[in-house]
Structures are given as C-alpha cells and as structure tokens.
Structure 1
Amino acid sequence: MGALELKGVTKSFGSTEVIKGVDLTVNDGEFCVFVGPSGCGKSTLLRMIAGLEDTSDGDILVDGKRMNDVAPAKRELAMVFQSYALYPHLTVRDNMGLALKQAGRPKTEIRAATDKAAGMLALDPLMERRPAELSGGQRQRVAIGRAIVRTPKLFLFDEPLSNLDAALRVATRIEIARLHRDLKATMIYVTHDQVEAMTLADRIVVLRAGKVEQVGSPMELYNDPANTFVAGFIGSPQMNFLDAASLGLAPGKVGIRPEHLTISRDQGEIPAEVSHVEKLGGETLVYARNPQHGLLTVRLFGEHDFAVSEKVHLTLQRERMFQFDPDGLRRR
C-alpha cells in the first residue's frame, strides 16, 4: 500500500508562505506528477512529503498514518534526486544496496535485491563500476535502482531527467513509465516540463505560487482547463490567447490551441503577417503576428512553405476554443 493524503498543508520560511493550504489525495499505485513553473513550490512540497522539510501546518498521511513527526528514514519512502546523489567511492552494486546494508539485511538478501533491480534497469554489466565511469543516464538508472531495492511505499522523483540530454530524457522517461507498470507502485514526480507530465502521469497537479490550480488526468487538463494559467501551461506549443471582444464575443479572453487554427493565403477572419516558420519534418509551426492579438502560433501537419513577412489569414475552429473571464481566472 502507498496512498498519500495531504490535508491543509502549508509551509512558511519566516514570514513568506510558499505552500498555501494544499489538499490532495494520491491513490495507491497512481503515478502523480507535480508540475508548474520554477518557484511554484512543487519541489518544496515533495521534500515535505519526504520529511526533508518540516510542515508548518496541516497533515501528511501515508496509508492513513500521520507522518509529520516521523523521521525521513522511517517513512518508507525512496527519493530520486536531480543530482543522482551517488557515493563516488562505492560501486554501482554497493550504491544500490547501501540502504539495505545500513538496515542490517543479510548479504544474500541484498545481493538478490540489487540483482533484481539491475535486471529491470539493464545495469547488469555495470555493477562493479563506480559513478565516475558512468554516463549521466546510467547514473540516473543507478539512482532509480537504489530506490527500487528498498521496496518503498512511495517513490518520489525530484526533476530526475533535467540533467540529461534530449535523447536520454526520452529514453529514461520511457523506462520510468515501464517501471511504474511493472512495479505497480505509487510514484510522485516533480517536473517543470509539461511534456514529461503529459506522457507519464495518471494525474497531474498543476501548481502556481504554492497553490493547486487544477488536478486531473493529462487529457482532462488539456481539453478542460479551469483557467488561462492551466490552459497556457499544459500543451506544447502553448495555447494562443486572443481578445474576445474583437471576435464579436463578450469581453474576456479566448484560448485556442495551435492545431485548432487554420491558415490561408486567400481568406480568413484574422489577417496576419508571418514572423517565423519552424519546419520540424512531421509538422510545421507558423508564427504569425496580428496587431490586435499579437503573435499567434499555428501547428500544421507535414511540410508547408510559408515565408517570413508573407501576408496570411487565420481562422479559429470555434467549436474548439475556450472562453475565459477578463482576469483569466475562470472558464465561461
């Protein structure tokens, strides 16, 4: 079991409140991702769950047991850090088995646990190497393996892929998703990368300035955002926002995703001038500027030949647009 419940959790550093009354339930076996911009409090919240930061108010419960006053080592959690946090003088095997050794487990048990984790992570040929002899991706897999051997109730990941290059991030992300399926464990994952959140999560928790803006599955947040912050944060490229009144609607904001704009050289409702074109092979992104609405992004499937400074016309697929109040805090 590994269910987590946060009840009115707050955290203050001096007079500055950085976590502001978070209520959240993470179900047993769920992959939950905390996402938000830098400084939103997501890593602080994860460290509070781990016991590395005190809780100013509220309760943290694991399987119904209050954890606030339980030492980190006694919480039955395992944390994977951005920096890997491996001991440079120990081999891969010894790094992975250290927690079990410190707990006084028999050598045969430690060997079996590290061998099993190594097999899951394709680390078998590397077990006698030291961290300096490993690539960044291999080090991160060792850090994940160290968490696996502890068989924790919760796995906590703090931006584990941010030090890897693009190709390794994709490969390691796939490995983490596979591990979740195989282990059926509860995982809580912090990232500022909404692509990681969309591809890994059963549920996403969107945070801003220490508050939860919205919780839901990736597609729920993508297709039913509660406000302009969530709408703009979830989805890549970012959602376009336009002035509603100039489109003949009630004053406020209109949001529309780049794939729901069409572009034409002949006719359309919004005249614009092409500012930049990105040809990505499978898709083309056209950035076009309108004096009223600013820079708008159009996503097209396949290759298209639009030129910088070309005059074009954009049309909204109105059935796919979102309407928000003028302050952007509520959907209409």
Structure 2
Amino acid sequence: MGSLQLQSIRKSYGGHEVLKGIDLEVKDGEFVIFVGPSGCGKSTLLRTIAGLEDATSGSVQIDGVEVGHVAPAKRGIAMVFQSYALYPHLTVKDNISLGLKQAGVPKPEIDDKVRKAAGMLSLDPYLARRPAELSGGQRQRVAIGRAIVREPKLFLFDEPLSNLDAALRVNTRLEIARLHRSLKATMIYVTHDQVEAMTLADKIVVLNGGRIEQVGSPMELYNRPANLFVAGFIGSPQMNFIDGEKFGDSAKTVGIRPEHIGLSRDGGKWKAKVIHVEHLGADTIVYLESDDVGPLTVRLFGEHRYAADDVVHATPVIGGLHRFDADGRVINSGQ
C-alpha cells in the first residue's frame, strides 16, 4: 500500500509562508505530478512529505498513519533527486545495494533485489562499473534502482530529468513510465516541464503561490481549466487570451487554444498580419498581430507556407472557447 493524505499543510520560513493550506489525497498506485512556476512550493511540499522539512502545521498521513514526527528513514519512502548523489568510488551494484547493506539485509536477498532492479532498468551490463564510466541517463537509472530495492510505500522524484539532455529526457521518461506500470507503485513527481507532466501523470497538481489551483488528469486540465492561471500554464504554445469586450462576449476574458484557430488568406473573423512563423515539420506555429483582438498564436498541423508580413484572416473554433470572469475563474469551457 502507498496512499497519501495531506490535510491543511502550511509551511513558513520566518514570516514568509511558502505553503498555504494544502489538502490532497493520493491513492495507492497513482502517479501524481506537482507542477507550477518557480517558487510555487512544489519542491517544499515534496520535501515535507519526505520529512526533510517539517510542516509548520497540518497533517501528513501515509497509509492512514500520521508521520509528521516520524524520521524520513522510517516513513517508507524513497527519494530520487535532480542530482544523482552516487558514491564515485563504489560500483553500480554497490551504489544500488548500499542502503540494504546498512539495514542489515542478508546478502542473498540483496543480490536478488539488485538483480531484479538492474533487469528493470537495463543496468545488467554496468553493475561492475563506477559512476564516472556511465552516461547521465545511466547514472539516473542507478539512482532510481537504489530507490527500487528499498521497496518503498512512496517513490518521490524531485525534478529527476532536469540535468539530462533532450534525447535522454525522452528515453528516461519512457523508462519511468514503464517502471510505474511494472511496479504498480505510488509515485509523486515534481517537475517544471509540463510535457513530462502531461505524458507521465495519472493526476496533475497545479501549484501557484503555495496553493493548489487545480487537480485533475492531464486532459481534464487541458480541456477544462478551472481558472486563467491553469489555462495559461498548461499547454504549449500557451492559450490565447482575448478581452471579452473585443471578442464581443459577456465574459471578462475569452481563451482559445492555438490549435482552435483556423487561418485563411481569403477571409475570416479577424484580419491579422503574420509576425513570425515556426516551421516544426509536424506543426506550423504562426504568430499574428490583429488590430481587432491583439496578438494571437495559431498552431496548424502539418507544413503551411506562411511568412512574416503576410496578411491573413483568423477564425476561432466556437466549441474551443474558454470563458473567464473578472476574478479569473472559469465560467464555462468549450470542451
């Protein structure tokens, strides 16, 4: 089992409150990702769950047991950090098994657990090597293997892929997804990369200023954002926001995803000039300036031959509109 309940978690440093009353339930076996801008409190919240930070007030329960005064090593968690934190003088096998040796686990059991973890992570050929002989992706897999052999109730990941290059991030992300399916373990993962969040999570927790803005599946957040912050944070390119009065709508703000705007040279709702075009192969991103509604970003599937200074007409897909009130809360969404 590996359920987690957070109730009214607050964390202050002197007079500065970082976490402002966090309530969250994570079910056994879920993959939950915390996202949000820098300074939103996501890493502080993860460290509070781990016991590396003490909550100023509130309750942390793992499997229904209050662990607020339990030492990190006794909470049944394993943490994988941004830095690999491997011992350079130890082999891969010894790095993975060190915690088990320190806990007095019998050698045959250690060998069995290391063998299984190495198999899951494709580390068998590297068990006799030292960290300096490994790539960044391989080192991160060793750090993950060190967590696996502990058989924790909760896996906690703190931006584990941020030190890897783009190709390695993709490969390691796939390995983490496969690992979650294999272990059926509860995983809580912090990232600033919304692509990681959208592709890995069962449930995303969007944090902002020490508060939870919205919790939901990736597509729930994408299609039905609760407010302007979530609508603007989730999705790349970012959602377009148009003043409701300029749009001709009673809402204070109207949001439209870039893929929900069509372009034509012949006619449409808003006349605009092309400012810049990104040709990405599978997609074409067109940046516009319209006298009617201001700047717009349009995402077109496939290759389209628009260029800077072209005059075009943009038309929104009415079913793709998101309307927000003066407080930034959603009125209704088009999905």
Q: CA deviation at 1:294?
A: 3.1
Q: 2:217: which partner in 1? A: 217
- 8 Å Cα contact 2:251-2:324 kept in structure 1: no
Letter in 1 for 2:214: Q
Question: Is 1:40–1:207's contact at 8 Å kept on the other side of the alignment?
Answer: yes
Q: Residue 86 of structure 2: SS of its match in structure 1?
A: coil
Distance 1:153 1:293 in 2: 51
* Greater CA drift, 196-205 or 291-300: 291-300
Cα deviation 1:70-126 (Å, max 9, x = unaligned) = 000000100000011111111111110011011001111111111110000000111
Deviation of 1:283 after TM superposition, in Å, equals: 1.1
User: Matches of 1:78 and 1:308 in 2, distance apart?
Assistant: 51
Structure 2: distance between partners of 1:280 and 1:44: 36
Q: SS at the partner of 2:226?
A: coil
- Over aligned residues, Cα RMSD in angstroms? 0.9
Residue matched to 2:192: 192
Secondary structure at the aligned position of 2:303 is classed as: coil
How many Å apart are 1:220 and its aligned residue? Answer: 0.7
Task: State whether residues 81 and 157 of structure 1, in contact with CA within 8 Å, keep that contact through their aligned partners in structure 2.
Answer: yes
> Hey, what does 1:70 align to over in structure 2?
70
1:1-332 correspondence to structure 2 within 5 Å: 1-332=1-332
Cα-to-partner distance string for 1:255-287 (whole Å, 9 max, x where unaligned): 010110001111111111111111111111111
Contact 2:30 2:185 in 1 (8 A): yes
Question: Which amino acid is the alignment partner of residue 225 of structure 2?
Answer: P
What's the offset of the Cα at 1:292?
A: 4.8
* TM-superposed deviation, 1:251: 4.5
2-structure distance, mates of 1:252, 1:45: 33
Q: 1-side partners of 2:282 and 2:251: how far apart?
A: 37
> For the residues of structure 1 that align with 2:252 and 2:153, how far apart are their CA atoms?
46
What's the % identity of the aligned pairs? Answer: 68
Secondary structure, aligned partner of 1:90: coil
Q: Distance in 1 between the 2:304 and 2:273 partners? A: 16
CA contact (8 A) 1:241 1:293 kept: no
SS class of match (1:331): strand
Structure 1 residue 224 displacement after superposition: 0.6
Q: Which amino acid aligns with 1:286?
A: V
Distance 2:249 2:132 in 1: 61
How many angstroms does 1:240 deviate by?
Answer: 0.7
Q: Distance in 2 between matches of 1:26 and 1:240?
A: 32
Q: Deviations over 1:42-77 (max 9, x none)?
A: 000000000000110000000000010000000010
**Structure 2 CA distance, aligned partners of 1:69 and 1:291?**
60
The offset of 1:331, in angstroms, is 2.9
TM-score using structure 1 length: 0.98
**Equivalent-residue separation in structure 1 for 2:260 and 2:184 (angstroms):** 36
Q: Tell me if structure 1 keeps the 8 A contact 2:271–2:292.
A: no
Instruction: Name the SS of the counterpart of 2:331 in structure 1.
Output: coil
Instruction: State whether residues 6 and 23 of structure 1, in contact with CA within 8 Å, keep that contact through their aligned partners in structure 2.
Output: yes
Structure 2 residue runs without a partner (length 5+): none
Unaligned runs of 5+ in 1: none
Partners of 1:32 and 1:189 within 8 A in 2: yes
